[in-house]
């Protein structure tokens, strides 16, 4: 268990990444959600199901990639029986970065994909704007990085934009797959 910030106190467990070392691609989300906190695995809830569909459409096999989050504990607010997601603060991202660094050193992926703006800002700086650079091949510490939207943005987006947002996610994952040579 990690106690580098206070989030461990209310979460069920630390959720590290999942996948094999040597994976060509590392997908980096924000933080575990309600279901991930319980299962102890990243992206197994509703956002994970969108991610799975998008990976399949992009021709990327999930078991070939390493999937993780910048923050390894679920940050939430209780509302009755519900645990409502809260975006992690910069202090949580900062406290958790050594874990991501350790995962990068262990997995040695050729390419990174950030899912959503928390992950992109964690690696590329607070001034990074996903709306301006989504789908571009950027760079993080000498590795190519593709910044795309978070799968949960597809679920939360306006109904008439959801299909288009899903297609954007698929296109970015396809670009990442081709760039990493894993498709
Ligand atoms: N959202 C994330 O960013 N990561 C998960 O693991 C689940 C939902």
**What is the CATH architecture assignment of 6-182?**
3-Layer(aba) Sandwich (3.40)
Q: Which of 39, 45, 71 gets mutated to test ligand 1 (max ligand atoms within 8 A of its CB)?
A: 45
pLDDT digits (tens, 9 = 90+) for 32-88: 999 999 999 999 999 999 999 999 999 999 999 999 999 999 999 999 999 999 999
pLDDT at 183 over 60: no
43 CB within 6 A, ligand 1: yes
Query: Residue 65: what pLDDT?
Result: 97
**Dist CA 168 CA 150 (whole Å):** 11
**Dist CA 16 CA 167 (whole Å):** 28
**Dist CA 58 CA 31 (whole Å):** 23
68 CB within 6 A, ligand 1: no
CA 165 to ligand 1 centroid distance, Å: 17
pLDDT category at 1 given cuts 50, 70, 90 is: confident
pLDDT at 182 over 60: no
Can you give the residue ranges of every domain in the chain?
A: 6-182
pLDDT digits (tens, 9 = 90+) for 86-118: 999 999 999 999 999 999 999 999 999 999 999
Atom of ligand 1 nearest to the CA of 118: 3
pLDDT digits (tens, 9 = 90+) for 120-178: 999 999 999 999 999 999 999 999 999 999 999 999 999 999 999 999 999 999 999 99
**Dist CA 77 CA 94 (whole Å):** 21
**Dist CA 163 CA 52 (whole Å):** 15
Nearest CA to ligand 1 atom 8: 33
CA 87 to ligand 1 centroid distance, Å: 11
The distance of Cα 73 from the centroid of its chain, to the nearest Å, equals 13
Residue that the structure tokens 């091949």 belong to: 137
């Amino acid at each position: 268990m990690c106690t580098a910030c206070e989030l461990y106190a209310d979460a069920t467990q630390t959720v590290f990444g999942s996948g094999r070392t040597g994976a060509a691609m590392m997908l980096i989300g924000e933080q575990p959600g309600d279901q991930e906190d319980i299962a102890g695995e990243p992206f197994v809830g509703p956002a994970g199901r969108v991610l799975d569909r998008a990976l399949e459409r992009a021709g990327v096999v999930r078991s070939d990639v390493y999937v993780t989050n910048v923050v390894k504990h679920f940050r939430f607010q209780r509302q009755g029986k519900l645990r409502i997601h809260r975006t992690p603060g910069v202090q949580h991202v900062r406290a958790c970065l050594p874990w991501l660094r350790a995962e990068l050193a262990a997995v040695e992926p050729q390419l990174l994909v950030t899912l959503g703006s928390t992950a992109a800002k964690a690696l590329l700086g607070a001034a990074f704007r996903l709306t301006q650079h989504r789908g571009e091949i950027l760079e993080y510490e000498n590795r190519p990085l593709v910044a795309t939207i978070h799968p949960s943005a597809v679920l939360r987006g306006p109904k008439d934009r959801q299909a288009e947002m899903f297609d954007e996610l698929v296109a970015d994952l396809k670009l990442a797959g081709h760039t990493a040579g894993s498709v």
